[in-house]
Structure 1
């Protein structure tokens, strides 16, 4: 015999000749029902077992409880269905929460898209002699020496042109976005 379960849980169901009303039904089977829910569904509903027991009896309240022939079977069926629904709703909420975390906020995505567009426009406004050096450094990852060799410049000229390119891009971006702080 399981020491965690009330004695009622281990006894045969017996007849329902007494025709208890809902209050007696609750007093007689509520501890057993809570223990059976915890046993069947485990940790998934541990904190909600008492609420499920209450909801089970609330579902039976509109019905004539004097006509129930096998109260334990009925109570367990209703409570099991409620527990299954609860676990299913939790799973859906969890999946939804994970999906929301993976998807960026639409306003944030729009702001990011606008920022990207402003950066592209700012880069396109860099004068030609500086643009080549900027693109080779920032997008192709070439070193100053490699850029100097490729463009026929000195390393010092590459550094100077890159500084001018960044300066133009920042001014252009500030002008495009309406900000004067950059």
Structure 2
């Protein structure tokens, strides 16, 4: 029988042992935040990232793997957002009929409080999901939802003026 303070340590046999033991678990955890195909890719990327690591030194394998995977996910979200920003800044040909509405829309968005505007732009113009925004901004999904609701209320008020 174990003492109450003793922590169960599962032995690891290198990278392969970690993979066999925790890959499915990690995929399920990531699958709660992103779709299954992306989660599977991220699991593979996680194990590639830790390949040079001496796995014998890992005291808490689940925490370690999840931290590496979440860091990779944040990097991916930031990279995708940067790519979208670069595409958005590419020159495009707007017809003269669209310009008054575009100017009005820019005014409405510019008048939003910065926290609401950030979530609104990332969601509506960058195509990011609430989960991706939450990860990028290091806030909860509920916070993102709340800020988006306030941003939409702001737009509705300005449109009614």
TM-score by length of 2: 0.49
> Rg: which structure is higher?
1
TM-score by length of 1: 0.44
